[in-house]
Amino acid sequence: MTALAPISSRRRAKDRAMRAVLLVGTLVALVPLVLVVYYLLQKGLGSLSWSFFTTDPTGRFLGDPGGIKSAIVGTILIVGLASVIAVPVGIGVALYLVEYGKKSAFANAVRYFVDVMTGVPSIVFGLFIYIVLVLSGVGGSFAGWKGSIALSLLMLPVVTRSAEVVLNLVPDGLREAALALGAPRWRVVTRIVLPTAFGGLMTGSLLAVARGAGETAPLLFTAFAVNATTWDLGSQMNSLPIQIFNDVRQAQTNIVERAWGSALTLVGMVLILTLIARLIQRRSRIA
Amino acid sequence: MVAGTLTSGGRSFERSPLSRLPDRALRWTLTGLAAAILVLIAYFFIRLYDEAQPVFTKYGVFDFVFSNAWVPSQGQFGALPLVVGTLVTSALALLIGVPVAVASALYVTELAPRRVRQPLIILVELLAAVPSVVYGLWGVFVLIPKLKPVEQWISDTFGFLPFVGGDVAGPNYFIAGLILAIMILPIVSAISREVIATVPVEHKEAALALGATRWEMIRMAILPYARAGISGAAMLGLGRAIGETIAATLVIGNAPEIAHSIFGQGYTLAAVIANEFGEAASDETHRAALIAAGLVLFVLTLFVNFLARYFVLRSERTR
């Protein structure tokens, strides 16, 4: 047997060059992350202080611009309500798809439209809620809960897609065992399928919530913005993304500094949610 | 399986109608939720169309989309500059973002040492965790001032190329495209990774056994197999880029005109809605025009996502 012909130096060089290109591509992909985090810390850390978190924006252009208390409270309330709507509905739709609909034409249509919803730009959801809830004057004009509904429309398809994947991972053997023991379908779903998939469902939902928390566009003309802190979801509400969006467009340095501080706070909140989601994912049995 | 009927030794275990109630309730609740999604999307489309109607009857759909005059103060609403801005920035985003995303996906799945794979994946995914408005903030105060000299140099040196040359505006198409590229990177990379992972090991091993180098294996075994899936990933990224609002609003310049160079100011469909909707609330035509812009945006993303689905499905079918 003859020995294999050695790889020519030209091919070897090309291999090495292309590997280097792919490595460089990967590093380039990480550059923006490093830069964004660096500038967030460099420009944002300075403005963080106790009073930054405990005072409302003053709304004045000169002098002390105030803190971001109302924005933090607003974001937590609006995103909280949005999650309370989107997570159960999203998981419910996924349960239908996995447990009942399966491969039926109706289920496939629902899957398709959930996909369509994922692709709808967030600002268009904002427009829709403006038309349906603000323009028509249901419960006054702008309100925090209307922002929540716009956000929940955005989160819903994300929750459903991830929940469907997780529910499909629940072994059929478990379902069959429970059915064979005489458990009715609803008990199988509530006592076997949901607890088994719990970790994965939580992870998917939290990631969707984290994504929703950073969204600005759906809140622009639904929740609107005010400076004062309010706990009433029925009135206009401030939120972190809107606060940043409005502050970026001001020329005053101290207002821009507040924007950096708010951005650092928002990214911190989103990262904490993402981290919790990943920790749950690591511990859960499936997903 | 016959639900709820079981006999053993002559005894029937058939469930009473009452005990089946929760079963039915759950089934119909969940089906109802699923059906609500379809109703919602239909209602969504009808209401948007309804509200945009005044503008469509005044200009006609074609003239609204293809006339080059967006002057709200004079009641002129031609969306061409917005459509062009949206397409130019999204195309730039694909041009910059997709090669980088695919390179990183290939590196992570095929070349990276096992220990750094997971950390690299997490780092790329973190890009998706940064909110759009934060990218906008970073673009306005870091990217625009730092890149301006570089852009001016490129503009001066390569002025002979089409769409390059002239004075560089601070916020411009290129900056918006760059930010959009960063924002679509994680999704394009993630889906490319999934697609690449489905290439059968046999194909890769066969290529290597025939004496191919790693790169030749990637080029001959992986890329042909994964091409449709990667195109789908790029299309999904395009859909994201088209609909992205806040970051683009902050760095596009918000000038409703078609610039002659990629370093000129422009506007996008999403950005015009975010910017002008507040003042348009009192002017019916203006509001209708913005909602019509939203509808055009919606149809555009729908079309692109449809293409993406087609590509991804096709790559799944070849498996």
Q: Within a 10 A sphere around the Cβ of B49, how many other Cβ atoms? A: 14
B2 near A CB under 8 A: no
Domain-embedded: residue A216: yes
> What ipTM does the predicted assembly reach?
0.90
pLDDT at A249: 86
Contact between B189 and A29 using a beta-carbon 8 Å cutoff = yes
Longest dimension (CA), chain A: 87
Let me know if domain B80-317 sits in CATH 1.20.120.450: no
| Residues A83 and A35 reside in one and the same domain | no
B198 near A CB under 8 A: no
pLDDT at B12: 58
Q: Which long-range contacts (CB under 8 A, 24 or more apart) does A276-283 make?
A: A276/A206, A277/A202, A277/A203, A277/A204, A277/A206, A277/A207, A277/A210, A278/A203, A278/B122, A280/A199, A280/A202, A280/A203, A280/A206, A281/A199, A281/A200, A281/A203, A283/A199
Contact between B33 and A271 using a beta-carbon 8 Å cutoff = no
Classify residue A65 by its DSSP letter: -
> CATH number, domain at A150?
1.10.3720.10
| Residue A278 burial (10 A CB sphere; 0-12, 13-18, 19+) | middle
Domain-embedded: residue A4: no
- B-facing residues of A in 68-87 (CB < 8 A) are none
| Residues A143 and A195 reside in one and the same domain | yes
Chain B interface mutation, best of A115, A123, A154, A220, highest count of B Cβ atoms under 10 Å = A123
A92 near B CB under 8 A: yes
Closest CA to A248 of B214, B274, B12, B51: B274
| Residues A30 and A146 reside in one and the same domain | no
A124 near B CB under 8 A: yes
Tokens standing for residue A139: 């419960």
Domain-embedded: residue A250: yes
Give the residue numbers spanning the domain of A43: 13-47
pTM value is: 0.90
- A-facing residues of B in 9-48 (CB < 8 A) are 13, 15, 19-20, 22-23, 25-27, 29-31, 33-38, 40-41, 44, 47-48
For residues B50-61, give the mean pLDDT: 88
pLDDT at B8: 52
B118 near A CB under 8 A: no
Contact between B273 and A122 using a beta-carbon 8 Å cutoff = no
| Residues A93 and A187 reside in one and the same domain | yes
| Residues A114 and A163 reside in one and the same domain | yes
| Residues A164 and A41 reside in one and the same domain | no
For residues B173-200, give the mean pLDDT: 93
Distance of CA A188 to the CA centre of its chain: 30
Beta-bridge partner residues of B7: B12
Band (B317; pLDDT cuts 50, 70, 90): low
**Nearest-angstrom CA–CA distance, B1 and A271:** 46
| Residues A27 and A62 reside in one and the same domain | no
Closest CA to A113 of B297, B245, B183, B306: B306
Beta-bridge partner residues of B76: B71
- The answer to whether the CB of B270 falls within 8 A of the CB of B243 is yes
The 10s digit of each residue's pLDDT in B280-295 is 777 888 889 999 999 9
Domain count across chain A: 2
pLDDT at A285: 62
pLDDT at B2: 46
Distance of CA A8 to the CA centre of its chain: 50
Q: Which residues of B touch A24 (CB under 8 A)?
A: 103
| Residues A176 and A42 reside in one and the same domain | no
Contact between B274 and A217 using a beta-carbon 8 Å cutoff = yes
Domain-embedded: residue A220: yes
B129 near A CB under 8 A: yes
pLDDT at A92: 94
Domain-embedded: residue A2: no
